[in-house]
Structure formats: C-alpha cells, structure tokens
Amino acid sequence: MSVLRTLRAVAMTAATLGGLSGALVGLLNEQGRRARVAIGVLEHLWPAPDGVYFDDGGDPVRLAVLGDSMAVGVGVTHPSQMPGVLLAQALAEEAERPVRLSTYAVSGSTTRDLVPQVDAAVRDEPQVALIIIGANDVTSRISARESALLLAEQVGRLRAIGCGVVVGTCPDLGIVRPIPQPLRAVGRRYSLRLAAAQTAEVRRAGGVPVSLANLLAPEFLARHVDMFSSDRFHPSAIGYEAAAGVLLAPLCQVAGLWPGWAASPLPVRSAAALAVRPSRVPVWLQKRHA
C-alpha cells in the first residue's frame, strides 16, 4: 500500500463522498500532508519465501495467499516473519503434513486487482486460500458495495474448484496514529463500512470472513509501538503474528482440520487493549455523512 497515495485519497474520499465544506476539505488535505511527513519509509521489501514447509516427502496441503501489502507482509524485518510463512508453518503442524505456500498477493492491490491473482491461483489448484484485501479500496474510492461484490466473485471462483477460502476483511484505518483527527475518523468510518459489506458477501459466496478490525484494532491501539513497523503504518513482525493468530483457526476449519471449530464471540485481548476504547466518528461528521 502506498502511504502517500493512501493518505491523500482518504482525504479526497471524505471530500467527494461527503459534500464537505471547502474549509474542511482543506483541513483534511493538510492533515494528510502532515501525516505523510510523519510516516517513515521501509528499507526492506522482502520477496515471498514460497515453497514447502516441513517437507517430509508427503503430499503437501496447497496454501495460496492473495491480496494486498498486509497479505504480502510489508513491514517485517525478515522473510520468516511474513504472515504466509507463519501460517504455512502453523498449518503444517496442525495437519501433521507438509504445506506448500504460494503467494500471489501484490502490495498496493485493490479488489479489482484480485482477478489476475485468482487466475494464477486457480491454475495451481490450491486447497486452502487466504485473502486479505480492502484498505486500498477505501483509499481508491471504490464503493463498499462494488468492492464486496468483486470480492465475492473471486471467492466464488476459488470455491468452485473446491478450495476453502478465508478472508481477512478490511482493517481499521483509524488505528494509524500518524493520521490526525478528523482524517483518521473518516478513514475508520469508511474502512469499517467496507468490512461489514465484505463480511456479508464473503459468507454468501461460501467463504469464511475474519474481522481484522474487530479482532486486532484494540491491541494495535494499546500496543502501537510494538504492533507497527518502523514506518508506523504497516504492521510489525509482532503485528503480523497477532494477525496470524486470529487467522489460523479459520484456515484449519476450511482445511478440514478443525471441523467442529466455531469462532469465539469475544477475542482474547490484553489488559492494555481492554482499557482502550476505539475513537468514535465525531457527531458533526456523522451528520454530514448521514
């Protein structure tokens, strides 16, 4: 995900969709400019370490990872910390057999960019697929409905070949602290709206949605120094480990390893996270966008 493009587009989204005043549009654009200065630049962008994990010569479970920078693992300091690697290793332990990891995700992708990724994945006939997508749809001003329907179509293509699909829905852009208020509140509102639409459409298409916003935002807010990478925008290795922790059980479910598994109604959270309450969209902004 391009930080510069993200922050500029969040402000433009608020302006174009909300009919806000010229003064407020100017404020949001200025806040985006200041946040771009505050956010750092990552030095390392690692290639995906695809291959067979825990290879014992047996037939591996074929795991495909699709989506955007969060699916790629932008922000880690070593390839072993990438979410695909973490999940391939954990899935191999649970399955007690090798797992072949194939990464099709591309940083900066929107849901419109999933089509060639799924084209490539379908040719390799994965048994399990993880998709993380959505943040760039918000910043690219793709409507929540269009984005969710496009996602459902690609989930349906994977399900048609017998692949179990887990989707990490749009993360909460309101947790990125270098983005000031009220711009951060705008990003939060649109990202949560998209996540809700994704959840409904993924279920209809036969996939399993996982709310990254609900499950991870409190921890990221409470432990932002640990959870974010040096650019203060993408997750750190600890942040990706937390994400893998909430994605593993659904992946085991669709892989047929945990057939009786059901999601807990309440995620496990630290005391610090429980003390944090997510910021609400200001009342004046809610009225503007009602």
Which residues make Cβ contacts (< 8 Å) with residue 155, sequence separation at least 6? 131, 165, 167, 201, 202, 205, 206, 207
Exactly one of 69, 147, 229, 236 is catalytic; which is it? 69
Q: How far apart, in whole angstroms, are the C-alpha atoms of residue 69 and residue 65?
A: 11
Exactly one of 230, 231, 279, 289 is catalytic; which is it? 231
Exactly one of 140, 172, 229, 234 is catalytic; which is it? 234
Alpha helical stretches, state H, 125-266: 135-139, 144-160, 183-204, 212-222, 224-227, 237-254
Is 234 assigned a catalytic role? Answer: yes
Neighbours of 116 (CB within 10 A): 11
Is 109 assigned a catalytic role? Answer: no
Q: How far apart, in whole angstroms, are the C-alpha atoms of residue 35 and residue 40?
A: 10
Residue 183: strand, helix, or coil: helix
* Residue entry with tokens 């989204």: 13
Query: CB–CB of 119/109 below 8 Å?
Result: no
Strands (E) in the chain, as ranges, are: 51-53, 61-67, 99-103, 128-132, 164-168, 208-210
Tokens standing for residue 4: 């510069």
Beta strand 99-103 with 128-132 is unpaired
Is 231 assigned a catalytic role? Answer: yes
* Catalytic sites, residue numbers: 69, 231, 234
